């Protein structure tokens, strides 16, 4: 009788351990995937900044526009760090929301919409949309 | 590839059964190592890229303000009469 109860308890403990292990593995993979995607987001932001600097260097974005846009990039990078920190510490799609809001705000800002050179504006918008896609993928991964 | 994951999962379960609480933390570490880089390494990489963006923005703003550091040694100015 005692040994039957013991073996039932042991089976139950083993079952709980198995379920907990699988849940942990899944959670670890999701968080890890999110961290990998987060690095991709930072790389996309850098590519967007490099693109804008290149356009300014060849005179397709004037100094005034360039100043405001670079100030936005600086703020975006700081937001990106906060987003990554949030994902690292607690996870969850809500961590990404400030990043998505910041990029959308930049794309709708007077300094981007007001870029006088049409080609330059479109290039910045395309890069920005690519960044938004990365952010939404990151949110979906969490 | 799927069979490799199954073998590793079984090994991990065996470890959990024998090591209990310590095994829980070990499982998490092993799961991240399966992907090559740890979350800490990935975080550091992402943060380094963001720091580079901030530094580049500061450089661009300094250039616009005329306060960027010169690229090389500045030639001495000869006073004229």
In chain B, the residue whose alpha carbon lies closest to the alpha carbon of A53 is B60
Residues of A in contact with B7 (CB under 8 A): none
Q: What is the pLDDT of residue B15?
A: 46
Q: Does residue A10 surpass a pLDDT of 70?
A: no
A74 and B35: CB-CB below 8 Å? no
- Does A137 contact B at CB distance below 8 Å? no
pLDDT digits (tens, 9 = 90+) for A81-117: 999 999 999 888 899 999 999 999 988 998 888 888 8
- B11 shares contact with chain A (CB less than 8 Å): no
pLDDT along chain B (81 residues), means of 10: 49 48 47 67 90 96 82 53 43
> Quick one: pLDDT at residue B73?
55
* Residue A37 pLDDT grade (very low, low, confident, very high; cuts 50, 70, 90): confident
Q: A77 and B47: CB-CB below 8 Å?
A: no
What percent of chain A has pLDDT above 70?
84
Entry pTM: 0.65
Task: Provide the total of helices (H) and of strands (E) in chain B, helices listed first.
Answer: 3, 0
- What mean pLDDT comes out for the span A1-17? 69
User: Measured between alpha carbons, how far is A42 from A95 in angstroms, rounded to an integer?
Assistant: 15
Task: Let me know the angle formed at the C-alpha of A24 by A83 and B35, rounded to the nearest 5 degrees.
Answer: 70
DSSP A60-123: SS-HHHHHHHHHHHHHHHHHHHHHHHHHHHT--GGGGHHHHHHHHHHHTSHHHHT-SSHHHHHH
pLDDT band for position A73 (50/70/90)? very high
């Amino acid at each position: 009788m005692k040994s039957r109860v013991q073996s039932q308890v042991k089976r139950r403990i083993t079952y709980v351990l198995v379920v907990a292990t699988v849940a942990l593995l899944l959670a670890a993979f999701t968080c890890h995937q999110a961290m990998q995607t987060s690095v991709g987001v930072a790389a996309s932001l850098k590519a967007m900044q490099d693109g804008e600097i290149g356009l300014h260097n060849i005179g397709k974005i004037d100094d005034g526009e360039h100043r405001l846009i670079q100030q936005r990039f600086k703020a975006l990078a700081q937001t990106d760090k906060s987003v990554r920190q949030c994902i690292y510490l607690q996870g969850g799609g809500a961590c990404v929301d400030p990043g998505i809001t910041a990029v959308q705000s930049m794309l709708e800002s007077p300094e981007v919409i007001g870029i006088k050179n049409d080609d330059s504006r479109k290039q910045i918008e395309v890069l920005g949309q690519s960044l938004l896609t990365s952010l939404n993928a990151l949110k979906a991964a969490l | 590839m799927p069979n490799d994951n199954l073998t590793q999962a079984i090994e991990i379960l065996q470890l959990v059964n024998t090591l209990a609480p310590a095994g829980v933390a070990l499982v998490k570490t092993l799961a991240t190592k399966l992907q090559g880089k740890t979350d800490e390494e990935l975080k550091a990489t992402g943060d380094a890229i963001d720091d580079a963006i901030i530094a580049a923005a500061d450089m661009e703003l300094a250039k616009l303000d005329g306060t960027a550091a010169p690229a090389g040694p500045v030639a001495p100015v000869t006073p004229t009469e």
